[in-house]
Amino acid sequence: MDNPTESTKSTAYVAHTKPKWKRMNLAEEDQDKELQAAKFYLNLQNTTLNDRSVREAMIRAGVKYSTNAEHRIRTKAKRMKQGSISNDVKEDSKLPLALNPKLPLVLHPKLKDRIRVTQLPSNIIKDLEIIDTKMTEKVNKRNQRDFRFIVNTNLKQWIIEQDFYRLFGETTYNDQSKAFKDNLELFVRDNALMGMGIKFDEIDMSLIFTASDEIVHQTPHFDYEPVALTQKEITDKEQFAWIMLLPLSSAGCWVTVWTGPGVGTNMKIKFGECLFLRSDVVHAGGRREIEKESDTKFIRLHCYLPTAFQKPNRDSIYTLNLNGLPLQDTFWVEDVPEVATSSTRDRKQNKDDNNKIKQLNALMELLSDMKSDVVNVGSNPIKIVEECTANLKKSLGK
């Protein structure tokens, strides 16, 4: 056999001496941590697996970062996906969350105490059809004084609080609105969220619709102020409040939900279904990019469901985690975050910008109301208001 060239020798030498990781060299405790990290890696999001997610998984599992550890964890995760690591592949509930082929990750049975979609009973569906007719008429009216924009979105909301009769276009309770309230309470408290300590008499409702065809996603957020709990408190199901989303039309509605840091799952809630999210679930309104819906309002009912422990503050959504860092730095709607991690200066600038937008939104709606009020006065006032409104829209980038 001919002698190998220098380059061949070099390649052969490197291939022979290249270090390889070995599971047997790891302590049992470290092996367990890396296995847990691999599970976290899959659970963070099965829609994308990138370096930032695997490092987050290692942090959560208490694994000290190294290139070799990352390689081992990636390999374990790959084997899990292939189904080679499973004690009982026949029982879905025993599989790691990302391995269940029957359900999207966020609806896996292991997450039912945080996220659940439930089929509505027929009597509530019939009432929702009536409510949809009434609310569609209201949404399509030129005068929308009851509705206000949700900051940084193309969503408008009408705050209803506990006045169920307003959903039927009434000014006081009648037999129909009373029956709907009673049926919904029975469904929530004694069925869908039984044993969760829901204070249904403190329900706080809003009617929300999408005001334009533009695809805009909310900032990832909690609807309730996040709180630090002990493991015992977390186990107590009555500690956590919930929210409920009820689509009112056949178009359903869209929401992005996260099970942990990474890319969220943008899911469609169909008419006749009800989405429940526990207060510690990060989420964001906004339909998926590939959905080519035109002039679809996606009218839905958003309800706070408080407990004795957690009450809502409807004037706020909570976009920071318990460490005071923006959720959007690690919870992404897209596969690749559009911006890098926010600095303190950036967060202050964003807060200032949001306050300015709030003020401009309120002023723009006030001017729109003025336009309706002066319609019979003459043409000059209308032109003035139209010009002001146009300038404000430019300021808002609309």
Residue pointed to by tokens 């990636």: 74
Q: Is the pLDDT of residue 9 over 60?
A: no
The model's pLDDT over 202-254, given as tens digits with 9 standing for 90+, comes to: 999 999 999 888 878 889 999 999 887 766 766 776 778 999 999 999 989 98
Contacts of 216 (CB under 8 A, 6+ apart): 152, 153, 154, 155, 286
What pLDDT does 338 receive? 39
CA distance linking residue 185 with residue 183, whole number of Å: 5
Looking at residue 131, its pLDDT comes to 96
Give the model's pLDDT for residue 108.
73
Above pLDDT 90, what percent of the chain? 33
Cβ atoms of 298 and 252 closer than 8 Å:
yes
Banded model confidence at residue 159, pLDDT cuts 50, 70, 90: very high
175-187 helix and 122-139 helix, angle to the nearest 10 degrees: 120
Residues 6+ apart with CB under 8 A from 166: 160
* Distance of alpha carbon 88 from alpha carbon 343, whole angstroms: 46
Categorize the per-residue pLDDT at 99 as very low, low, confident or very high, splitting at 50, 70 and 90.
very low
In this prediction, residue 121 has a pLDDT band, given cuts at 50, 70 and 90, of very high
- Got the DSSP string for 358-378? HHHHHHHHHHHHHHHHTTTT-
pLDDT computed for residue 207 by the predictor: 96
pLDDT score, position 362: 63
- Mean pLDDT highest for which of 82-86, 122-126, 326-330, 379-383? 122-126
Is the predicted pLDDT of residue 89 greater than 60, yes or no? Answer: no
Lowest mean pLDDT among 60-69, 153-162, 306-315, 385-394: 385-394
Average pLDDT, the chain: 76
* Residues 375-394, mean pLDDT to the nearest whole number: 58
